[in-house]
Structure 1
Amino acid sequence: MDFDKETLDTLTLAAACHFNPEAAVRLYRTAGSASAVMDNGRNIRDMAPGCPDRVAEALACADEARRRAEGELEYAARTGVSIMCMGDEAYPARLRDCPDAPLVLFYRGTAGLNGRRVVSVVGTRRCTAYGQDCVRLFVRRLKELCPDVLVVSGLAYGIDVCAHREALGCGADTVAVLAHGLDRLYPPSHRDTASSMTAHGGLLTEFFTHTNADKLNFLRRNRIVAGMADATVVVESAVRGGALSTARLARSYDRDVFAYPGRAGDECSEGCNNLIRDNKASLISSADDFVAAMGWTVDARLEQARREGIERTLFPDLTDEEQAVADILQKDNDLQINTLSARAAIPVGRLAAVMFSLEMKGMIKCLAGGVYHLIKI
């Protein structure tokens, strides 16, 4: 597995600024690349006058960070771990849009992280039979309604691992965001589930090897759980807990948040009931409610069309401009509007209306990062 200079520099920047990752990301965004930051590491204030003292000192003497980065590259090459830098195509585009996105991610798995539908399912570690039933019914029905869905959670006890196992059981890809490096696993009792997920989803983390599952790391990983998904669903939560932190982060990223209600006075549902009461989450009682609220009902119709063997080769109901866009996407799918504008010779202002019309006709879908995808059935 080959890694370029930018990957090495990104890892070095992340290692050097491990105590202030937000500052590292700001430098990266300012400079445009990690290599630009590290190449100017000894004079970083020429590029970023407001760089904190400790960060400037760390970049000026980054030899140890470089050795740590080289160690991560060696481990990744030896164990088949993918390293995703913020500018890489494989990096979760939804997460990249978040202001506190990690500079680099480590991934062991097979599922793409930029699929059409990504849903986070979180909740209490002390779930009840009611919560388990909610997760089981939700995930299985969601897979029926949205066959390409990716289910994200944190592999913790309770609702998290229940969501992963139900996804595996019904053939949905599922990714766990970990609070430690990929050289270890917490909790150890979930090792079999984690192993199955690497073939039908994956394990994802921002943490270097030899990083333990400390309490602060669990809080930090919640922003990845929230940020890489279209929506977060909370199933059972006490009045305080990590699931509520994930819900709060999702709202701060302008993502949809949903919650299953519980009985009044039920300790395990008090957090969910409060979210609903305070208009911080929408009430759902099924995957059908969720899919309708998200506007994803077209997915089931498309899957039915696939099963019936319907093929679309002509689009008689399209205007000339719509047909031109469809032809371009059929040859080279997943393009941004500026690229489509240039190829179709349609001004961006008018093209936006064309894209809206195509989306209403069920022809295209806007993915994360403003990328347009032609729905092929």
Structure 2
Amino acid sequence: MNELLKYKIAIDLIPGVGSINAKKLIAYAGSIDTVFSLKKAQLLKIPGIGESLANTIINNKPVIKRAEEEIQFLEKFNIQPYFYLDKDYPERLKNCIDSPIMLYSLGNIDFNTSKFISIVGTRKATDYGKQICKNIISELAKSFPDIVIVSGLAYGIDITAHKAALENNLKTIAVLGHGLDTVYPQSHKKYAISITKQGALLSEFMSNSKLDPSNFVRRNRIVAGISDATLVIESDIKGGALITAEIAGSYDRDVMAVPGKVGETYSRGSNFLIKSLRALLVENADDIANVMNWKKSSQSKSEEQKQLFVNLTPEEQPIFDLIRNNPNTNIDDLAYTLQLPIHKLSSILLNMEFSGYVKCLPGKVYILN
């Protein structure tokens, strides 16, 4: 039996303590195991610990026993526990004041790599919302193959995001509002299994936890806190996605939203976020990359360049190559080097500009677009 893990789990089980007071207790005691040997007088010196709570902490045998049972469950199903002071605990989440003391993960993922984005929305997603979600994730996969998609495994936008991530060979994390001994909704079990092979199921709840609606509100803070940004795709004005967006904003994370059709029930929340300046309007993956200041991978740039080369005409190719190797070249120098009449070169350049290959700057200077 891992004695240290037993105490890590047990402190999270003490009724009335909560994550903020638990962190105070550990800081005061100096170590997690010392918390359980503190005398009542010592406990009462800690801010936020009254007599009733001190008595509960001292009478800790029931929580110790429950922690031992949970360790057996973790070992049986190869579930990885994360204590908030562990180096592998999600760093982004650790920086949130109300981050969970314990997390439990089933799968294989590094929670501290770059580019995590949470995608949330209504359970009653429209075909429009689902398609937008798929398109954005497909575009993100091409530009950022290392990006991790986070959501909550619920109906609608959540499961659409997970499925799109899996289909595009991206890692994805499903944050659950219950223990890892079950999957809710049951109809998503097959996707949950796939997620464990291409990401992880993540929860702060232990096995045999009661399936309570309040758990899903608590779950939302993990969805918001574990990522660099939260994207809302369709939500009613009082949807759970808006709660996640609000929490993300309180954590000083970027919040984005896809605009919806005026007057539609499940567009009201997204449009409200944009209208009230609580979220930035985005329509595609490029908008998200610009908001986050993410640079495309060299692999995706190479693919883009290959595509350009395929589409260039024999007349355009030498012009493209010359501008690529000599950016900020004016049209006169281009004409001289290529031995082309100005009127013919101007016509080709205009077509290239319309096609998005080059950009004309003041003074008839050209660069690649």
Give the TM-score of the pair, scaled to structure 2. Answer: 0.79
User: Alignment partner for residue 185 of structure 1, among 183, 186, 191?
Assistant: 183
> Counterparts in 2 of 1:306-345, with a 5 A limit?
none
1:111 Cα deviation (Å)? 1.4
The 3-state SS of whatever aligns with 1:207 is coil
- The runs of 5 or more residues in structure 2 that have no matched partner are 306-369
The answer to whether the 8 A contact 1:6-1:33 is kept is no
**Structure 1 pair 44–188 and aligned structure 2 pair: CA distance change class (3 A):** farther
- Aligned match of 1:79: 77
Distance 1:169 1:240 in 2: 31
- Aligned match of 1:98: 96
**Structure 1 pair 215–301 and aligned structure 2 pair: CA distance change class (3 A):** same
- Aligned match of 2:55: 57
**Structure 1 pair 44–266 and aligned structure 2 pair: CA distance change class (3 A):** farther
User: Alignment partner for residue 301 of structure 1, among 295, 298, 301?
Assistant: 298
The answer to whether the 8 A contact 2:19-2:99 is kept is no
User: Alignment partner for residue 273 of structure 1, among 271, 274, 290?
Assistant: 271
- Aligned match of 2:135: 137
- Aligned match of 2:249: 251
1:17 Cα deviation (Å)? 3.4
User: Alignment partner for residue 20 of structure 1, among 18, 21, 29?
Assistant: 18
- Aligned match of 1:171: 169
The answer to whether the 8 A contact 2:44-2:50 is kept is no
Distance 1:13 1:37 in 2: 8
Letter in 1 for 2:131: D
1:304 Cα deviation (Å)? 4.5
The 3-state SS of whatever aligns with 2:76 is helix
- Aligned match of 1:209: 207
1:146 Cα deviation (Å)? 1.3
Distance 1:256 1:54 in 2: 40
1:169 Cα deviation (Å)? 0.4
1:43-83 Cα deviation digits (max 9, x unpaired): 44255143134432221101000011001111001110000
- Aligned match of 1:150: 148
- Aligned match of 2:308: none
Task: Find out whether 1:220 has 2:233 as its counterpart.
Answer: no
**Percent identical:** 37
The answer to whether the 8 A contact 1:122-1:153 is kept is yes
Work out which of the two has the higher radius of gyration on C-alpha atoms and give 1 or 2.
2
Distance 1:41 1:50 in 2: 16
Letter in 2 for 1:104: M
Give the TM-score of the pair, scaled to structure 1. Answer: 0.77
The 3-state SS of whatever aligns with 1:195 is helix
Letter in 2 for 1:219: V
The answer to whether the 8 A contact 2:151-2:175 is kept is yes
- Aligned match of 1:373: none
Distance 1:283 1:33 in 2: 45
1:18 Cα deviation (Å)? 6.0
Distance 1:295 1:55 in 2: 46
Distance 2:161 2:27 in 1: 35
The answer to whether the 8 A contact 1:16-1:62 is kept is yes
1:263 Cα deviation (Å)? 1.1
- Aligned match of 1:231: 229
Question: Which moved further from structure 2: 13-22 or 54-63?
Answer: 13-22
Letter in 2 for 1:98: C
1:33 Cα deviation (Å)? 3.4
Aligned residues: 305
1:241 Cα deviation (Å)? 1.3
Distance 2:248 2:14 in 1: 28
1:19 Cα deviation (Å)? 6.2
